[in-house]
Amino acid sequence: MGGRGSTLPPDLKVVAVPAFENRTTWMRLEQRLTTAVMQEFIHRTRYRVVGGEEEADAVLRGTVLEASTAPVIFDPGTGRASVVQVTVRLSVEFRDRRTKKLLFTSSNYVFREQYEITSDLDSFFEERNPALDRLARDFAATLVSAILENF
């Protein structure tokens, strides 16, 4: 939406984005998501972004609730999966640190990204990581837009 300003408090200058909590077995997924959100805030807003809460005016907390993969396309010759979809479900809360007022919340962010599987096992991991990076960037862009527009 063009021409819309932020509905956040005007005295908000510093946003803390502590490391997201990860309730899944996927190692470092929370780091990818936290980093993407911090970078999105830095690139799209005037706020100073920090990891610690002590100096912040508002705090964005996130929790990775679920992460899964599922085959979506199968190779007709082998019957094996050739394209896999990764799905990540998150919960976020953005709160004014001084007043404790909830500025934004969503308990059910779901993001999906697909990647191809080759017959080479090493390539499988190489494809998954870029897919998770794309998913993290999409999540961060959507989240920051929602916070700024207060949906």
Contacts of 79 (CB under 8 A, 6+ apart): none
Of the candidates 4, 78, 16, the residue with the CA atom closest to the CA atom of residue 47: 16
Q: What angle do CA 39, 40, 44 make, to 5 degrees?
A: 120
Query: Residue 121: pLDDT band by 50, 70, 90 thresholds?
Result: low
Q: What is the pTM of this model?
A: 0.87
pLDDT > 60? residue 147: yes
Q: Where are the domains of the chain?
A: 14-149
d(CA 14, CA 28): 25
Beta-bridge mates of residue 102: 95
pLDDT for 6-50, tens place per residue?
A: 578 889 999 999 999 999 999 999 999 999 999 999 999 999 999
What would the mean pLDDT of 98-109 be, rounded to a whole number? 94
42-70 residue pLDDT tens = 999 999 999 889 999 999 999 999 999 99
3-class DSSP state of 95 = strand
* pLDDT band at residue 119 using 50, 70 and 90 as cut-offs: low
- Average pLDDT over the chain, rounded to an integer: 89
Which CATH number among 3.40.50.720, 3.30.310.80, 3.30.465.10, 3.30.160.150 corresponds to the domain 14-149? 3.30.160.150
